[in-house]
Amino acid sequence: MFIEHLQLTNYRNYESLTLDFSPKINVFIGENAQGKTNVMESIYVLAMAKSHRTSNDKELIRWQADYGKIDGVVQNRYGSFPMELSVTKKGKKGKINHLEQTKLSNYIGQMNVVMFAPEDLNVVKGSPQIRRRFIDMEIGQISPVYLHELLTFQKLLKQRNHLLKINQGKQQIDDVLFAIYTEQYIQSAVQIIRKRLQFIQLLQDWAEKIHSGISRGLEKLTIQYRATSGLNPEWNDDEMATYLEKKLAEVRKRELERGITLVGPHRDDLQFLVNDYDVQTYGSQGQQRTTALSLKLAEIELIKQETKEAPILLLDDVLSELDDYRQSHLLNTIQGEVQTFVTTTSVDGIHHETIQHAKMFHVKQGVIETQ
């Protein structure tokens, strides 16, 4: 899979921009704050209908414009097709083959991307929220059903939290509606946890092999799902639901004190172990970067396995964060097989033949020239 053509209208600093890409490597060179990352972000937004940099869609619209629009022509094994995402102050609309999609969950997954930026190192060393977002976004690309289930879960969580909030400070809550919400919440939570566990097992299979290769066989990477409830991943759905019901009953008093739901997938986390040590707490910076790189390369392989298409790889100012060995491992892996976009201030420090044969785009003050 690759993107052939991109057109931006009123997107970030670009009033109008049209670009044609190589199906292999595309490198955007320029100083910081010139507009390189905006192009990279637009490809990600076209695929995922949301930015990796901001949760406020209005920031994507050019200053004083009423709307922003991203158009792309994507090639997969069946042929080429147009994609379009429009952003207004009222919301977003996506089109595939000129047909508007009634739900964005139907839109996502048509074009698969893997983003690797310096902030992705935070998947390993950052907050649980970052890791939950990572897993939800990646599952959503290969399973549109998951996005629908996630929206259902978030709606039920919001409704349950609302009732806890208005009853905050009480000793107990005798509300039929609350009991109904709790039952629905548990069933939805089990579905989310089940999908996450299945995804992590697939990711583990790839990441363990890749990490072993990068570390020259000296390290073993293990990915674990850490449920706040303490449930056992080996349980079936009914056993999980019974256990969650029990845990929610145990924390009911604390939930009423705080006015929020304290147990569920919205509070779960991932843990990365290298040779059985928590890499977030005990790992060196090199081990943390190797873990992040292994995850990204595993994502590529997993998406290929599940969709039968290689995803598009977006490397936003990340090569400078990797030493020569990890750079080479990354570029050797994607060479000739994965369409890749790279942003960098200079290619001088990147000694790899893949970069030497790339299509070059020079970016200066929002103007892009092709070499």
Q: Is 106 annotated as a binding residue?
A: no
Cα separation of the two ends of the chain: 24
Question: Does the annotation place 49 within a ligand binding site?
Answer: no
Distance CA(106)–CA(145), nearest Å, equals: 9
Residue owning tokens 């298409």: 309
CA atoms within 13 A on the CB side of 132: 15
Asked whether residue 35 is marked as a ligand-binding residue, the answer is yes
33 annotated as belonging to a binding site for a ligand: yes
- Any known ligand binding at 30? yes
Q: Is 9 helix (H, G, I), strand (E, B) or coil?
A: strand
54 annotated to a ligand binding site = no
CA–CA separation, 99 vs 125, rounded Å? 41
The Cα 240–Cα 58 span in angstroms is 40
Q: How far is Cα 107 from Cα 100, in angstroms, rounded to an integer? A: 9
């969950």: which residue's tokens?
105
Residue 36 DSSP SS3? helix
- On whether 222 is known to bind a ligand per the annotation, the reply is no
Residues within the annotated binding site?
Answer: 30-37
Residues within the annotated binding site for ATP?
Answer: 30-37
